[in-house]
Amino acid sequence: MVTLIENSLNLETYLSLREAVGWKKLSDEQAKKAIDNCLYNVVAYDDDKPVAMGRIVGDGAVICYVQDLIVLPEYQGMKIGSKIVENLTKYVTDIKEDGTEMMFCLMCAKGREKFYEGLGFTARPTENLGPGMIRYIK
């Protein structure tokens, strides 16, 4: 049975999950800072084995981002990613100031748009929103 544990992400888990899905290698210092500076994280465990994780970054008032949603390939299609996003969404909903609106954003991997659309996110660009953009600083 898969269990979600809040704010349990550690360096070893973060780096091993990133490596398992072929994401860019981070230094230990980068990864530790990323974990320490996120607003919230959740890890999915199959017994004691970490199989998925997601993080929230942002200012916690105007905008939050889903960051690093990872599900091990052999656990994809089991609704674990959806459960993590639901958990992340609840966190953002709970911290939102009453009477306000918070932007909840993400940048998804190519081909994953339908997954996020099914969870209530809107693919950009739209009539009113431009495309998301990125710049890598080396």
What type of residue is 123?
A: A
- Residue 1, pLDDT > 90, answer no
Residue 119 lies in a domain: no
Residue 124 lies in a domain: no
Residue 137 lies in a domain: no
Q: How far apart are CA 83 and CA 138, in angstroms?
A: 34
74 pLDDT band, cuts 50/70/90, is very high
- Residue 115, pLDDT > 90, answer yes
Strands (E), the chain: 2-6, 40-46, 49-58, 63-71, 103-105
Residue 118 lies in a domain: no
- Residue 136, pLDDT > 90, answer no
Residue 117 lies in a domain: no
Q: Between vectors from CA 13 to CA 2 and to CA 28, what angle results, nearest 5°?
A: 165
- Residue-level pLDDT at 37: 97
Residue 120 lies in a domain: no
- Indicate the number of domains in the chain: 1
**pTM for this model (two decimals):** 0.93
Of 14-18, 36-40, 56-60, 123-127, the range with the lowest mean pLDDT is 123-127
Q: How far apart are CA 33 and CA 65, in angstroms?
A: 17
Where helices occur in 1-138 by DSSP H, the ranges are 11-20, 28-37, 80-95, 113-117
Q: Give the residue numbers spanning the domain of 78.
A: 2-107
Q: What is the mean pLDDT of the chain?
A: 95
pLDDT in tens, 48-65: 999 999 999 999 999 999
Q: How many CA atoms lie within 13 A of 101 on its CB side?
A: 2
Q: How far apart are CA 56 and CA 65, in angstroms?
A: 5
Sheet holding 103-105, edge to edge: 2-6, 40-46, 49-58, 63-71, 103-105
- Residue-level pLDDT at 76: 96
Residue 76 lies in a domain: yes
CA distances from 3 to 6, 21, 49, 78, 96 (A): 10, 20, 10, 13, 26
Residue 136 lies in a domain: no
The CATH number covering residue 6 comes to: 3.40.630.30
